[in-house]
Structure 1
Amino acid sequence: MFLKKISIVNYKNIREATLDLSPKMNCFIGHNGEGKTNMLDAVYYMSFCRSAYTTSDANVIRHGEDFFVLDAVYVNDYGDEDSVFCGMKRGSKKHFKRNKKEYKKLSMHLGMIPLIFVSPSDTVIIEGGSEERRRLMDVVISQYDNSYIDALNRYNKALQQRNTLLKTEEGPDIELLSLLEEQMAFYGETIYNKRNDFIAELTPLFQTFYSRISQDKEEVSLGYVSHCQRGPLLDVIRRDRMKDLAVGYSLHGVHRDDLEMLIGGYPIKREGSQGQNKTFVIALKLAQFYFLKRTGSKTTPILLLDDVFDKLDVQRVEQIVKIVAGDEFGQIFLTDTNRDHLDRILSSSSLDYRLFYVDNGDIMPKEVAYV
C-alpha cells in the first residue's frame, strides 16, 4: 500500500498543503523546527487515528485555528484506491471516514494502513520505563490482530476496577475482587501468549538487521519478561493479594511486562553508546516492518524515517541506505536537515522519488521550492 496524495489543513504548524507523492521515496528537507516531523506525524495519524506525540487531538490543531483536516488517497497492493478522511473541530469529537463511510469504532481502522515510524524519540524505548517497551509490542500486534486489542481493553478495564476496589477504605468486596482477578488472568494470558509469539518471531529478524547495519560489530538480543512465566496468572495475582491491598494497586499482571534488551550480553540501557542505541532502535523498527509485511493483511507497510542519520557514523548510514533502498521496502518518507544524506540515497538507487522543502510549515515540491 502507498499514500498517493494527502491534503493537510491546520495540522500543527502546517496551515495548508496538498502533496502528490511518489509510491517509493519521499524526501523532506529543512532546518529543525520547520515542520518536517509534523508532516510525518500527519501520515502517522491516518494510520493510527492519533498523533505519535500527543494523546490530545486538540493539541494537533494549529494555534489560532478551530479545526484540522487530513484527507488522503491510498492505493492498495491490488491497485485499488481508498480515500481516508479525518477532521475535527475544537470541542467536538473527530470524524474518521474510509471511502466516505464513517467508522463506528476507530479500532476498526487500525491495521488497515500498516505503518512503521522511526524517530529520534524512539530512544525512549531503551531509556524509558517498561511501559514504553510494552507499547512497542502493543502497537505492532494490534495492527495485525484485532482480537489482541479487545483482550488488551478488557484486561485494562478489569485492572482499573480492581485497583479501585483495592483503594476502598472499608475493604473490597471479595467476591467482586475474585471475579475481576479471573478476568485479568484470562485476558492477561491471552495477551502474554500473543506477545511471546511476537517476540519469538521478531528477535531473529531484529538480529539480522542489527548485524547488517553494524557490519557484525556487536551482538544483540531480546528477552520477554512476564509474571505469566511464574505459573498460572490467576495464582500469581492471588498469591500477593495482601500486598496489593497494602499498597492500593495491582503489583502483578501483564501490565508489568517488560522487554529485556541486551548488547554483548549486558543491558544496552547501561552499556550502549548513542550510536549503538540508535542502531538498536532502527534495527528493531525495520524488523517490525518485515514482521507486519508478512503477517496480517500481507500489505506492505509505509515506512517513516525521521532524522535517522544523526549520531551514526558514515558506515552505518551507508548500510541503512542500502537496506531501505532495496526492493523489499515499499513507500518511504524520509526527513533530514542534511542534503548530503539525501543525495547519497538518491544517487545509490534507481528508486522513483520526490523531494520537498519544508519552511515554517510550508511544504514545497523541489521544482517550485526556493533555497
Structure 2
Amino acid sequence: MIINKLSLVNFKSHAKVSLEFSPQINCFVGNNGAGKTNILDALHYLSVGKSFLGNSDVQNIKTDEEFFAIESQIQNGDKEDIIKILQPREAKKIIKKNDKTYERLADHIGYLPSVMISPYDSNLISDSGESRRRFLDAMISQTDSPYLFDLIQYQKTIQQRNALLKNFAKNRTFDKDSLEIYNDPLSTFGTRIFDKRKDFVLKLNPIVQQYYDIISGGRESVSVVYDSHLSEASFQELLLQAIDKDRVLTYTSKGVHKDDLIFLMSGQPIKKIGSQGQQKSFLVALKLAQISRIKELTGKSPILLLDDIFDKLDDIRVSQLIELVNKENFGQIFITDTHKDRTENMVKKIDEESRIFEI
C-alpha cells in the first residue's frame, strides 16, 4: 500500500495543501508550529478514520471554516484507490473509498494499516491501563475485523449493564435476573477478546526483544505481559463473584475492559527501573514489532509515521532506525523534523528517491 498523493482542505492549520509522495521515505521539515504533525495526523486519518492526538473530528476543522476534507490516491497492488474523508461542522463524518461511502468506520479499519511513533508514546508507560488497552486494541483491530466487531459489541453491552446498575441505585431497587441477561453476551464477546489478546501478545514478545536488541545493543531482556481478570477465572464466574461489588460501585468491575499490559525490563517494571533512553528504545522496539506483526498477519506493509523522532533518539540511532525499517521493507515512511539539513543528510544516504517537503 503506497500513498501517492494527499490533498487537504481546511484541515487544522492547513487551508489547502497538495503533496505527491515518494514510495519510500518522505520528510516534512519546518519550525515548531508550522503544521508538520498535522500532515501526519491527516495520514493517520486515512488509516483509522480519526486523529492520533485524540482530538474530536470537529476540533480538526480550521478555525472559522465549515468543514475539512482529506483526499488521497493510494496504490493498492496494480490498481489505484481514492479515499476521501469529509467532516462538516454540523454533520456526520463521511469516509468514501472510490466514491462509495462506508456505512461503518469499522469497515475501513485494516484497509491501510499504519504505525505511529511519536513523543506521545511515553504515555504508554506513564499513563493508566486505558491507554495501553487502546494501543493493544488498535494493533489487533488493524489485522482482525471479527475482533473489532467483538470489541464494539462488548463495549455496548458493558454500557448497557452499567446503565442498569446506575438505574438500580437511583431507584433503590435491584433485579438480579435483569442484570444476568448481560452475562452470556459479555462472556461470549469478552472471552474471544481475551483469547485473541493473549495470543497476539504472546507472539509479539520475541519480536519486541529482537528489535530492542538491535536498537539498544541487547544488554537487557524486555517483555510485555498481558494482565487480565480472565487469567484467574471464566467470565461467567467473574460476573457472579463481583455482583455485590458491582451493585455498590454501579459499574462492571471485572472483565476485559480492565485488562492491562505490563512492560518489563529484566523482570521489573520498566516504568520504575528503566532509564529515559531505555524506555525510548523499548517503545520504538514495541512499535517495530507492531509493524512486523501487522505485515505478517495481513500481507500489507503498514505506513510508518515518525513524528519528531529526533526527540526520542540520538542522530546515530535515528539513522540506524530509518535504515532498518527501509531495509526490511516495512513500507512507506513519513518523518517530521525541525532541521532540514540533518534530515536531508540522513535520508539521502539511505534512499535517493526520498522527498523533503518544507512546511
Fold-level match, TM-score > 0.5? yes
Q: Tell me, which stretches of 5 or more residues in structure 1 are unaligned?
A: 359-371
Partner of 1:19 in structure 2?
A: 19
1-structure distance, mates of 2:33, 2:221: 36
Query: Residues 302, 267 of structure 1: CA spacing in aligned structure 2 closer, same or farther, 3 A cutoff?
Result: same
| 1:114/1:302 contact within 8 Å kept | yes
Give the letter aligned to residue 120 of structure 1.
P
The within-5 A match list for 1:129-168 is: 129-167=128-166, 168=168
Q: Deviations over 1:276-318 (max 9, x none)?
A: 221111111111111111113x111111111112142344334
- Give the distance between the partners of 1:324 and 1:353, measured in 2 at CA: 14
Q: State the distance in 2 between where 1:218 and 1:308 align.
A: 23
Residue 234, structure 1, aligned to residue 233, structure 2:
no
Which consecutive residues of structure 2, in runs of 5 or more, have no partner in the other structure?
A: none
Letter in 2 for 1:273: S
Query: Which deviates more, 12-21 or 324-333?
Result: 324-333
- Taking the aligned partners of 1:302 and 1:188, their CA distance within structure 2 comes to 30
- The partner residue of 1:191 within 193, 203, 227 is 193
Give distance in 2, aligned partners of 1:172 and 1:62.
49
Q: Name the CA distance, whole Å, in 2 between partners of 1:155 and 1:351.
A: 48
- The equivalences for 1:1-371 within 5 A come to 1-76=1-76, 78-167=77-166, 168-169=168-169, 170-296=172-298, 298-358=299-359
- Partner SS, residue 176 of structure 1: helix
Q: CA deviation at 1:195?
A: 0.5
Q: How many residues align?
A: 356
Change (3 A) 1:300 1:183: same
Quick check: 1:325–1:351 contact (8 Å CA) kept in 2?
no
Q: How many Å apart are 1:165 and its aligned residue? A: 1.9
Q: Which deviates more from structure 2 when the two are superposed, residues 159-168 or residues 253-262?
A: 159-168
Query: SS in structure 2 opposite 1:69?
Result: strand
Kindly provide the amino acid, as one letter, of the partner of residue 105 in structure 1: R
- TM-superposed deviation, 1:325: 2.8
CA distance in 2, matches of 1:341, 1:210: 25
For residues 132 and 339 of structure 1, what CA distance do their matches in structure 2 show?
33
Cα distance per residue 1:320-353 (max 9 Å; x no partner): 1331231422210011113354134324313521
Which secondary structure state, in structure 2, belongs to the residue aligned with residue 278 of structure 1?
A: helix
Q: 1:311 and 1:146 mapped to 2: Cα distance?
A: 32
Is the 8 Å Cα contact of residues 24 and 326 (structure 2) preserved in structure 1? no
Provide the rounded CA distance (Å) in 1 between the counterparts of 2:113 and 2:71. Answer: 17
Residue 351 and residue 111 in structure 1: after superposition, are their counterparts in 2 closer, same or farther (change >3 A)?
farther
> In the alignment, is the contact (CA less than 8 A) between 1:325 and 1:345 conserved in 2?
no
Q: CA deviation at 1:39?
A: 0.4
What secondary structure sits across from 2:295 in the alignment?
helix
Identity across aligned pairs (percent)?
40
CA distance in 2, matches of 1:86, 1:56: 14
Kindly state the Cα deviation for residue 50 of structure 1 after the two structures are TM-superposed.
1.0
Shift of residue 51, structure 1, vs aligned partner: 1.1
Task: Name the aligned partner's letter for residue 300 of structure 2.
Answer: T
* CA distances 1:167-198 after superposition (whole Å, capped 9, x unpaired): 22333322121111222111111000010111
Q: Which amino acid aligns with 1:96?
A: I
In the TM superposition, what whole-angstrom CA distance separates every residue of 1:200-241 from its partner, at most 9, and x where no partner exists? 111111111111000113221111010110121110121121
Partner of 1:365: none
Partner secondary structure for residue 85 of structure 2 = strand
In the alignment, residue 252 of structure 2 is paired with which amino acid? S
2:139 and 2:188 map into 1 onto residues whose CA distance is: 22
- Does the 8 Å contact 2:344/2:356 carry over to 1? no
Give yes or no for contact 2:69–2:87 (8 Å, CA) kept in 1.
yes
Residues 218/322 of structure 1: CA separation in 2 closer, same or farther (3 Å cut) = farther
Structure 2 SS opposite 1:335: strand
CA distance in 1, matches of 2:10, 2:30: 19
- SS at structure 2 position matched to 1:329: coil
Aligned equivalents of 1:317 and 1:69: distance in 2? 33
Q: 1-side partners of 2:297 and 2:318: how far apart?
A: 28
